[in-house]
Amino acid sequence: MSYTGPDFDPPQQRRPRRGPLTVALAALVPGALLGWMVYEAVGGGGTGGADRTASAAPTAGTSAAPSAPAGTPAASPSASASGSPGDDGKEPGSGPLKGKVVVIDPGHNPGNFRHTAEINRQVDIGTNRKECDTTGTSTNDGYTEAEFTVDVAHRLRTLLEKQGATVKLTRDGDSPAWGPCVDERARIGNTARADAAVSIHADGSAPGDRGFHVILPGSVHAGAADTRAIVGPSHDLGVRIAGNFLRETGEPPSNYVGGGTGLVTRTDLGGLNLSTVPKVFIECGNMRDSKDAALLTSGAWRQKAAQGLSEGIVSFLRQS
């Protein structure tokens, strides 16, 4: 997801590069310390980036990720690096998270750039009206955010289902050719009465901008939006995800938003404004930075990303 606004060009075409965001040193240093405190508070201290789980492809029967556009390098597709999750013999719905419902929202859709009229349609997000959806971003080699997000979502679903959770995706391999709109994505989580909802994204900022950040809902009470009841639990969910994501992936907190904490609060996202269940977004890295792109296109790293997300969600659900 582009942090500064929608991009409606086909993902294989490079967008003009935006200038780097300037962060004052005086703000960055205390912010980095706060980020480390968040990390330690949720059980950090492990070796950053240690591969604690084998890379795994989506489980048998799972819809495959959409095909990459022409020009996508062989290393980019969603096929995993090595190994697959073993069959632990557990019956579906058994495990410590039995009875818990998690909604995973893989950002964007690979067909959005061919349906600009549909995704440009304005929808009510409470505070104002906004585009139904955006195209998302891509690496310079053409690996799209939409492909990345559904691949991580499949891996995350496998991990959570092994814990006994019921997992629903807002879109999958059999989804319509575009969307769903941001208001519908929120409604899916609300209708499911999810105990936790996570929207997965990757950013499209300037080269040199690196790191992940978790977006938390701000307090909104306007129109169809009322987040007041979910602000607190969503913050808890976000902090737990941030700490575990950092530990599992080794990806640092963003160096261009969040002051080094890896946490950002926003009130302009319909997927958060319209949610009535605890929900956060995560920008897993910057697809336009070569170092982050090398991670995001790695199946082994995507498995670590799914593991970090899973551990954050599990930690939240076990105390809720």
pTM of the model: 0.75
**Cβ neighbours of 60 (radius 10 Å):** 7
Strand partners, 226: 221
Q: What is the pLDDT of residue 206?
A: 98
Q: Where are the domains of the chain?
A: 103-319
The answer to whether 278 touches 196, Cβ cutoff 8 Å, is yes
Strand partners, 122: 131
Q: What is the pLDDT of residue 176?
A: 75
Q: Is 283 a catalytic residue?
A: yes
Q: Residue 44 corresponds to which tokens in the numbers above? A: 């950090």
The pLDDT profile of the chain, 320 residues, written as one tens digit per residue, is 654 433 333 444 444 444 443 333 334 334 443 444 444 444 443 333 333 333 333 333 333 333 333 333 333 333 333 333 333 444 555 789 999 999 999 999 988 889 999 999 999 998 999 999 999 999 999 999 999 999 999 999 999 999 999 999 999 976 678 989 999 999 999 999 999 999 999 999 999 999 999 999 999 999 999 999 999 999 999 999 999 999 999 999 999 999 999 999 999 999 999 999 999 999 999 999 999 999 999 999 999 999 999 999 999 999 87
Q: Which is catalytic among the residues 161, 251, 283, 311? A: 283
The answer to whether 106 touches 146, Cβ cutoff 8 Å, is yes
Q: What is the pLDDT of residue 91?
A: 54
The answer to whether 299 touches 79, Cβ cutoff 8 Å, is yes
Q: What is the pLDDT of residue 174?
A: 67
Burial bucket for residue 27 (CB in 10 Å: 0-12, 13-18, 19+): exposed
CA distance 302 to 249: 9
User: Would you call the peptide bond into 106 cis, given omega within 30 degrees of 0 as the criterion?
Assistant: no
- Write down the CATH superfamily of domain 103-319: Zn-dependent exopeptidases (3.40.630.40)
Q: What is the pLDDT of residue 238?
A: 98
**Cβ neighbours of 43 (radius 10 Å):** 13
Q: Residue 213 corresponds to which tokens in the numbers above? A: 């950040």
